Amino acid sequence: MSDVAERALHTRIARSADAIRRSFIDNLFYVTGRAFDDATPQDHYVALAFTVRDRLLARFVVSRDQRRERGPAKTVAFLSAEYLPGPHLGNNILTLDLWDNTRLAMQQLGLNLETILDAEEEPGLGNGGLGRLAACYLDSMATQQIPAIGYGIRYEYGIFEQRIRDGWQVEVADAWLRGGNPWELTRQHRVQVKFGGRVEHRLDDGGRSRAHWVPATTIEGVAHDTMIPGYGVLNVNLLRLWKAEPREAFDFGAFNTGDYYGAVEQMVAAQNLSKVLYPNDDPEVGKSLRLRQQYFFVSCSLQDMIRLTLRDFGSIARFADRFAVQLNDTHPAVAVAELMRLLVDEHAMSWDAAWELTQRSFAYTNHTLLPEALESWPVELFASVLPRHLEIVYEINARHLDDVRIRFLHDAGRVARLSLIDEGGDGAPRRVRMAHLACVGSHSINGVAAMHSALLRTTVLRDFHDLWPQKFRNITNGVTPRRFVGFANRPLAALLDEVVGGAWLRDLDRLRALEEHADDPAFQARWRDIKRQAKVRLTRHIAAHAPCGTDVDPDSLFDIQVKRIHEYKRQHLNVLHILHLYRLIKEGGQRDLVPRTFVFGGKAAPGYWMAKLIVKLINAVAEVIERDAQVRGLLKVVFVPDFSVKSGHCIYPAADLSEQISTAGKEASGTGNMKFMMNGALTLGTLDGANVEIFEAVGEPNYFAFGKTVEQVEALWRSGYRPREIVERDEALAAVLDLLGSGVFSHGEADRFKPLVDNLLHHDPFLVCADFQDYVACQAHAAEAYRDGHAWTHRSIVNVARSGRFSSDRAVREYDNEVWHTSAPAATA
């Protein structure tokens, strides 16, 4: 931060504990209307949020002024249907370097900062890793001084709140806005978005055919901005979320003809667009509304970018110099057609010039190989919502396939595979393939871990790779160390400050210097003490929130798996191992096991029945184990309800062992694996996604690897996989499946988990049976390793020391150097 700017900040708004205390008391009164003595923790939160926001605004204004002085800069427009930023208050206090003074100010008032932070409801505007990644990238772009706007949807209801009732997941609506949102600034200008209707083609004055879209409805987008400050720099970027509103509160036409309710209905329909986030992995989502949501936010965002381009450069031809548009998966892929429409139809640009600009602007990140997650829309639905866009998609496709035919003469199969339209057949409808649209419209295509990018090239995007190998690259995901270590694990952060110096939070590679201390007994003792503190903290959280949450032993091995519940992530493999240990104790009388606490957390999509059954299974096993005196002290299973960014803060730091056990080839990257690693957990995992790179970074014996590799998985499928045969050969597995089917975990109701057992015996699509034996052996090996405290601590330190490359700072710099080419200053640190 420059001196001048620093002074400007200080004069605008004071940062001392005194000043913070005074602002807090003012805000408590003027914002919440409460006298000090009547205020609740929620009121304290609001008052402190405004106090911090005032200081953030001061920085925002300075940052904006500086930017204006420098002139318009190329900006990243990050288009994402999901963001999981987590609670803002604590992170902003840390980022603005106000921690000590704020804590002191609260202390002086007899208040506890942690209790206040705990009152914040986080914006759950995403499902899982993809949305959290978007939030990590915003944090890192701000810190790396890459000008950026994150564009998305301001869902009124985010991801549901998960409660556990009788072991089952129950979904409760997430009314995160009910207490207001101190962090957002509502902007005045509104953007119009059209839907449905028809297209007319008329000749313009120059005799050129022009399309005129006559929509059935028009609604408006209202921008809500959240400031995203960089750490250790003045720069503040924006998260701009669109809320849908009716064009006019009433359709006066309808009102005048007496159709009052019709008019109100339209108003409600408009607001529905940004009402609720769709859960992913859900086979039954209401598709039409989702397509509308995607188009809505994309259109608002592109119109906003065009406005800014015209404001700053006076010419739309400069669009690609003003914005690098990153498509976070295919959810915003309709942007390719929308930008073409805006350029050609509304700004009278020629098709070729518009296409050149479009391809120069867009880049696409793919986040999954799972075929069911690759989006496509029935042509009929697409036509009814976006009639003009369908024409544009057809035109893009015709030109694209002409190129393909020239390159690959007489290869009809390839043409069909590369087409933006899946022709359906056998009764299946024709569909628009969104990943194809994204690939054709972008100059860069990347996967999210080395292995995933390699698989993309050889599987789902193989034909595109044949066509344009130069478009392809890998950019391995990363996570922000500010939130996940700096804020979530303050004792560890303090130790790191002391040992490697404070710069590690902006330059995570500096942690490498920790390795010098990895064998130092005094240092190790402090390391272990910090881990234990974190475990005690999690123990308290569990006692307050989890069923079966009492008497967790902080000295047991904390073995943790938190992530969305999905068969490919194989929480059930973890459960089978627990049942195996349970049997060893019950039947073999084994008492010398390393005491373990298995912690699970994660949401199942409301319509994904098998995932919900797995949640029930975990809770059922937890309950039986809880009641069984024979295993007490050795085994404990806990399901932490409502896994979120917020609960993650106390979960990641507490882990000894991080479970990353997806079937090889299924997890694109994973990012929880990185958060655990940064907090000193050892990974027990398959060679899948970014696990492979974690393994490369730490090597043996600092990682517990098991399971079939991608090649072995493929070979197994090719040779005809028969799980039953494996079960017949593996006594331990057979016994565990019997136990599961016996009714022991379902109050004698033997059929409860039968679908799960049958699925494993007859299909086992994620190779749980094939990996079971190796998993159990690897787990036993990890437990043995845990007995040696010195060696384990050494490994834990090595994991943290080598986590530098998993910082999202590294990831966004790669994007910038290879894809976006903004002129952000070179890395400082």
Residue with structure tokens 């994204």? 438
Q: Which is nearer to ligand NBG, 243 or 675 (CB)?
A: 675
Nearer to ligand NBG (CB atom), residue 294 or residue 477? 477
CB atoms within 10 A of CB 185: 14
367 catalytic residue (yes or no): yes
Q: Is 129 in the site for ligand NBG (CB under 6 A)?
A: yes
The answer to whether residues 21 and 99 touch, using CB atoms and an 8 Å cutoff, is no
What are residue 211's DSSP bridge partners?
201
- Contact pick of 88, 367, 646, 794 for ligand NBG (by CB under 6 A): 367
Single residue of 368, 489, 539, 691 touching ligand NBG by CB under 6 A: 368
H and E: helices and strands count for the chain: 34, 22
Interface map 679-718 toward ligand NBG (x if CB under 6 A): ----------x-----------------------------
Q: Contact 379/334 with Cβ under 8 angstroms?
A: no
The binder of ligand NBG chosen from 524, 669, 686, 822 (CB under 6 A): 669
- Single-letter amino acid, residue 251: D
Inter-CA distances, 549 with 167, 253, 558, 636, Å: 13, 60, 14, 9
Cβ closest to ligand NBG, residue 31 vs residue 373: 373
User: Which stretches within 546-644 are classed as H helix?
Assistant: 571-588, 609-627
Residue span binding ligand NBG (CB under 6 A) among the ranges 126-134, 235-243, 573-581, 815-823: 126-134
- Long-range own/partner contacts, residues 53-57 (CB < 8 A, 24 or more apart): 53/92, 53/182, 53/183, 53/227, 54/13, 54/23, 55/13, 55/15, 55/96, 55/98, 56/92, 56/96, 56/227, 56/229, 56/236, 57/227
For the question of residue 103 being annotated catalytic, the response is no
152 binds ligand NBG (CB under 6 A): no
Contact between 471 and ligand NBG per CB under 6 A? no
Strand partners, 172: 161
* For ligand NBG, the closer CB: 230 or 689: 689
Give the shortest CB-279-to-ligand NBG separation in angstroms: 11
Interaction residues for ligand NBG, span 216-255 (CB under 6 A): none
Which C-beta is closer to ligand NBG: that of 448 or that of 492?
A: 448
Contact 744, 578 (CB under 8 A): no
Look at strands 444-447 and 168-172 and give their pairing: unpaired
Q: Which stretch binds ligand NBG (CB under 6 A): 108-116, 294-302, 661-669, 738-746?
A: 661-669
> Could you say which of 236, 448, 530, 733 contacts ligand NBG (CB under 6 A)?
448
Q: Which stretch binds ligand NBG (CB under 6 A): 129-137, 142-150, 618-626, 820-828?
A: 129-137
- 632 assigned to active site: no
Q: Counting contacts by CB under 6 A, is residue 675 touching ligand NBG?
A: no
Q: With respect to ligand NBG, which residue has the nearer C-beta, 475 or 744?
A: 475
Catalytic-residue membership of 531: no
Query: Which of 497, 553, 469, 807 shows the shortest CA–CA distance to 671?
Result: 807
Out of 367, 433, 457, 541, which one is annotated catalytic?
Answer: 367
Closest approach, Cβ 172 to ligand NBG, in A, equals 23
Only segment of 348-356, 366-374, 397-405, 625-633 that touches ligand NBG (CB under 6 A): 366-374
Is 675 a residue of the active site? yes
* Per annotation, catalytic residue among 510, 517, 566, 675: 675
Is-catalytic flag, 612? Answer: no
671 sits near ligand NBG (criterion: CB under 6 A): yes
CA distance 775 to 773: 5
- What DSSP character marks residue 179? T
- Nearest CA to 770 out of 716, 720, 817 is that of 716
Compare residues 562 and 584 and give the one whose CB is closer to ligand NBG.
Answer: 562
Applying CB under 6 A, among 116, 119, 133, 333 the residue interacting with ligand NBG is 133
Which residue has tokens 């036409």? Answer: 253
What CA–CA distance (Å, rounded) separates 346 from 387? 16
Query: Do the bridges between strand 184-195 and strand 217-229 make them parallel or antiparallel, or are there none, so unpaired?
Result: antiparallel
Q: Would the CA dihedral through 358, 359, 360, 362 be positive or negative?
A: positive
User: Does position 477 bind ligand NBG by CB under 6 A?
Assistant: yes
468 or 568, CB closer to ligand NBG?
Answer: 568
- Active site (catalytic) residues: 367, 563-564, 569, 671, 675
Which residues here bind ligand NBG, judged by CB under 6 A? 128-130, 133, 329, 367-368, 373, 448, 477, 667-671, 689
